[in-house]
Chain A
Amino acid sequence: MNVELRHIHKWFGSVHANDDVSLRVRAGSIHGLLGENGAGKSTLAKILSGYITRDSGEILLDGNPVDIRTPTDAIRAGIGMLHQDPLDFPPLTVLENFMLGQAGKTLWLDHRSARRAFLALAARFQFDLNPDAHVSELTVGERQQLEMVRLLALGTRVLILDEPTTGISAEQKMLLFAALRQLAAEGKAIIFVSHKLEDVEALCDEVTVLRHGRVVGTVSLPCPAETLVAMMFGKVLVEPAKPHTARDAVALELHNVAIRTELFDLHVPHLAVHRGEVIGLAGLEGSGQQAFLEACAGVGRLAHGTLRINGQDLTHRPYRDYLAAGVCYVPADRLRDGLIAGLTIREHVALRAPRGFFINHAYTAQLAEEAIRAFNIRGTPDSRVERLSGGNQQRTQLALMPSPLSVLLMEHPTRGLDIESTLWVWQQLIARCQQGTAIVFASSDLDEILRYSDRVLVFSGGRISPPLSTTTLTVDQLGHMIGGKF
Chain B
Amino acid sequence: MSGEQILVVLATAIASATPLVFAVIGETLSERAGVINLSAEGTIMFCAMVGFAAALASGSVWLGFLAAAAVGALIALIVAFNAITLRQSQIAVGFVLALLFSDLSSFLGVPIVRIPGPTVPAMPLPLLSELPIVGRLLFSSDVVVYASYVLIAITWLFFYRTRAGLMLRAIGEQPNAAFARGADVIRLRYLYTLIGGALMGIAGAAFSLDFKAGWSFRHTGGYGWIALAIVIFGGWNPLRAAFGAYLFGVLQSLASVAQDQFQGVPTQVLNVAPFALMILFLVLTSAGWLDRLLVRAPASVRRRVLQTLRTAPPAALGKPFVQD
Contact = CB atoms under 8 A, between A and B. Distances in A.
Contacts of B177: 87-89
| Secondary structure of the A contact surface, majority rule | loop
Given A92-B173, A107-B162, A109-B162, A71 B179 contact: yes
B173 A89 contact: yes
A417 interface: no
A44 B312 CA distance: 35
Interface residues of A, number: 24
Given A52-B324, A108-B161, A81 B174 contact: no
Contact of A99 (B163, B315, B323): B163
A99 B163 CA distance: 8
B189 interface: no
A89 B163 CA distance: 15
A96 B177 CA distance: 13
Interface string A64-102: 000000111001000001010001111110001001111
Interface in B203-258: none
B82 interface: no
Interface stretch (B35-43, B88-96, B130-138, B164-172): B164-172
Contacts, number: 63
B contact face: mostly helix, strand, loop, or mixed: helix
Interface stretch (B61-69, B71-79, B105-113, B180-188): B180-188
A88 B173 CA distance: 9
B176 interface: yes
A87 B166 contact: no
B41 to A, nearest CB: 29
A91 B315 contact: yes
A104 interface: yes
A71 B176 CA distance: 11
Interface string A23-63: 00000000000000000000000000101100000000000
Among the interface residues A49, A81, A88, which one has the most CB atoms of the partner chain B within 10 A? A88
A101 B170 CA distance: 10
Contacts of A75: 181-182
Nearest to B174: A89
A71 B170 CA distance: 16
Q: Could you say which of B163, B164, B170 has the most chain A C-beta atoms within 10 Å of its C-beta? A: B163
A108 B163 CA distance: 6
A70 B324 CA distance: 12
Interface of B: 161-164, 166-167, 169-170, 173-174, 176-183, 312, 315, 323-324
Given A90-B174, A101-B181, 14 more contacts: A51-B179, A71-B179, A87-B174, A87-B180, A88-B177, A89-B169, A90-B315, A92-B173, A99-B163, A100-B166, A101-B178, A107-B164, A108-B163, A109-B163
